Amino acid sequence: MTSPTASASTPASASISASASDAASGTAPASVPADVAGSRAASAFAAAAAAGPAHESDPLPEGLIDVVVIGGGAAGLNGALMLARSRRSVVVIDSGDPRNAPADGIHGLLGNEGTPPAEFLARGREEVRHYGGVIISGAVAEARPAGRSADGDLRFTVDLVDGRRLAARRVLVATGLRDELPAVPGLAEHWGHGVVHCPYCHGWEVRDQAIGVIATRPASFHQVLMFRQLSDDIIVFVADGVEVDQASRERCAALGVRIVETGLEEVVGDGAGGISGVRLVGGEVVPRSVLVVATVMGPRLDGVDGLSLATEEVPGGMGEKISSGMAGATEVPGVWVAGNATDPGAQVGAAAAGGALAGAHINGMLVVADADRAVAAAREHAAA
Ligand SMILES: Cc1cc2nc3c(=O)[nH]c(=O)nc-3n(C[C@H](O)[C@H](O)[C@H](O)COP(=O)(O)OP(=O)(O)OC[C@H]3O[C@@H](n4cnc5c(N)ncnc54)[C@H](O)[C@@H]3O)c2cc1C
């Protein structure tokens, strides 16, 4: 699993506290230990890598391949589909831990409404295989540039956690992102069910319920409006240090949204796997069946840091992403990025579209490289 569970280790006395990244951006208090995010990422990655095959794995091909895709979520698989259909040799390496794994179904995706994420991805893997793409269940430990071939083409080396190695001409990074939750005791275990973040992913499912929005940054008040569209019963719990501006107070008052500025002690379970409310500092329990949070998002860089990809901040204290240009091209020659790793706001459809675009662009660049090599070889032959 990714980050959600990590904040469960926060002391029970914590009031609402946001992430270290939020603190750095000045929007919320720094009550999460500085090492939490890093150690969380490392331990989640190690756990996933040690967990064994997440899905069926093909044999690793020998010799040079055209493209290695790191990450087999919607973005990586759609990139691989485009490449495989272009008769490119493509290998997808996937550790089987997609961001939406806790969700029961995918929503807002035409033609796939309610499909369980695992089923959607299993279908995608078969589609890639149908055109000759190779799917490896495993984790990349290190990907790095390996110079150029004698005829000037780019080369990359990709080492898997299990010790196997691949050589590729191009790389598509589609590793997704990690969500860092506010460090409220009891919150993480409900992630993706009673604790949600996205009105388009789960909004319909929580309509008309008693919803609490945990406001860890000023932008959380936009989330309040989004969920107020779905339920008349909204309460905002404001984190220490978050300023509520006059416009937000007026909007909340006009829409019948109560603002609570007492610290949160913990999320209270209902004994059946759901949420029954939140306990405020001082002991009062406010009944709520759903909590909305804004996560801090960061690209998953485990195994791809050797590519030295540039990252940039996402405005509003939302986190970071890998920088990219047209069709996911990065500043590192031969490396593309797609999906949540570079587009944190992308839902499944947009992530898949980003992957498709990157796959098409990679093939477009490879056909030119192949043609140029053919011309060089033809000239050499003619001159001999
Ligand atoms: C709780 C929740 C519910 C959601 N519900 C919806 C919804 O209903 N509808 C919707 O459209 N969107 C939903 N989303 C958003 C959705 O999860 C993302 O849009 C989507 O997962 C992005 O796809 P991706 O391919 O970029 O990344 P991911 O799906 O996260 O895939 C990345 C893959 O890369 C792998 N990986 C990472 N590092 C490595 C490595 N080093 N080596 C090998 N593999 C690696 C991971 O294991 C993972 O399988 C939800 C998100 C959350 C958190």
Same domain, 156 and 210: no
Rounded to the nearest angstrom, the gap between the alpha carbon of residue 310 and the centroid of all alpha carbons in its chain is 17
CB 266 within 8 A of CB 13: no
Same domain, 317 and 275: no
**Residue 53: per-residue pLDDT:** 63
Instruction: Give CA–CA dist 142/144, Å, rounded.
Output: 7
Which of these three, 294, 311, 326, is where a domain ends?
Answer: 294
To test ligand 1's pocket by mutation, which of 109, 137, 173, 175 has the most ligand atoms within 8 angstroms of CB?
175
Instruction: Give CA–CA dist 379/371, Å, rounded.
Output: 12
Percent of the chain with pLDDT over 70: 86
Instruction: Give CA–CA dist 332/316, Å, rounded.
Output: 27
For residue 167, give its domain range. 64-179+297-383
* 253 or 150: which leads in pLDDT: 253
pLDDT tens digits for range 74-128: 999 999 999 999 999 999 999 999 999 999 999 999 999 999 999 999 999 999 9
Quote the ligand 1 centre to 219 CA distance (angstroms): 23
The whole-number average pLDDT for the span 1-24 is: 31
- What are the φ/ψ torsions at residue 315 (nearest 5 degrees)? -55, 155
The whole-number average pLDDT for the span 153-181 is: 98
**Residue 79 Cα distances to 128, 321, 354, angstroms:** 9, 19, 8
Which of these three, 294, 327, 358, is where a domain ends?
Answer: 294
Same domain, 251 and 324: no
Pair of tokens at residue 207 = 């309509």
**Residue 54: per-residue pLDDT:** 76
Same domain, 78 and 137: yes
Number of domains in the chain: 2
Crossing angle of helices 220-228 and 246-255, rounded to 10°? 20
**Residue 52: per-residue pLDDT:** 52
Quote the ligand 1 centre to 126 CA distance (angstroms): 18
Instruction: Give CA–CA dist 180/36, Å, rounded.
Output: 10
Which of these three, 242, 267, 294, is where a domain ends?
Answer: 294
The answer to whether residue 36 is domain-embedded is: no
The whole-number average pLDDT for the span 4-21 is: 31
Q: Of ligand 1's atoms, which has the minimum distance to the CA of residue 105?
A: 8
pLDDT tens digits for range 14-67: 333 333 333 333 333 223 222 333 333 344 444 444 455 678 999 999 999 999
The answer to whether residue 254 is domain-embedded is: yes
CB 221 within 8 A of CB 215: yes
To test ligand 1's pocket by mutation, which of 60, 68, 201, 321 has the most ligand atoms within 8 angstroms of CB?
201
Please state whether 271 falls in left (phi above 0), alpha (psi between -120 and 50) or beta. left
Q: Is the pLDDT of residue 309 over 70?
A: yes
pLDDT tens digits for range 322-344: 999 999 999 999 999 999 999 99
CB 156 within 8 A of CB 170: yes
CB 286 within 8 A of CB 260: yes
CATH classification of the domain holding 79: 3.50.50.60
CB 373 within 8 A of CB 381: no
Ligand 1 — pocket residues by CB below 6 A?
Answer: 70-76, 93-100, 102-103, 106-109, 139-140, 174-176, 179, 192, 201, 300, 302-303, 339-340, 346-349, 351
The answer to whether residue 118 is domain-embedded is: yes
Residue nearest to ligand 1 atom 35, measured at CA:
71
The answer to whether residue 209 is domain-embedded is: yes
**Residue 140 Cα distances to 46, 71, 118, 137, 174, angstroms:** 11, 9, 21, 10, 12
Q: Of ligand 1's atoms, which has the minimum distance to the CA of residue 76?
A: 25
The answer to whether residue 368 is domain-embedded is: yes
Quote the ligand 1 centre to 99 CA distance (angstroms): 3
CB 221 within 8 A of CB 38: no
Under DSSP, is residue 331 helix (H, G, I), strand (E, B) or coil? coil
**Residue 297: per-residue pLDDT:** 97
Same domain, 312 and 259: no
Helix/strand/coil percent split, the chain, to 5: 35, 25, 40
Q: Of ligand 1's atoms, which has the minimum distance to the CA of residue 343?
A: 26
User: Across the chain, what does the average pLDDT equal?
Assistant: 88
Instruction: Give CA–CA dist 253/259, Å, rounded.
Output: 9
The whole-number average pLDDT for the span 298-326 is: 97
**Residue 316: per-residue pLDDT:** 87
Maximum C-alpha span of the chain: 88
Pair of tokens at residue 338 = 């797609």
Same domain, 97 and 151: yes
**Residue 289: per-residue pLDDT:** 98
The answer to whether residue 274 is domain-embedded is: yes
pLDDT tens digits for range 228-254: 999 999 999 999 889 999 999 999 999
**Residue 131: per-residue pLDDT:** 98
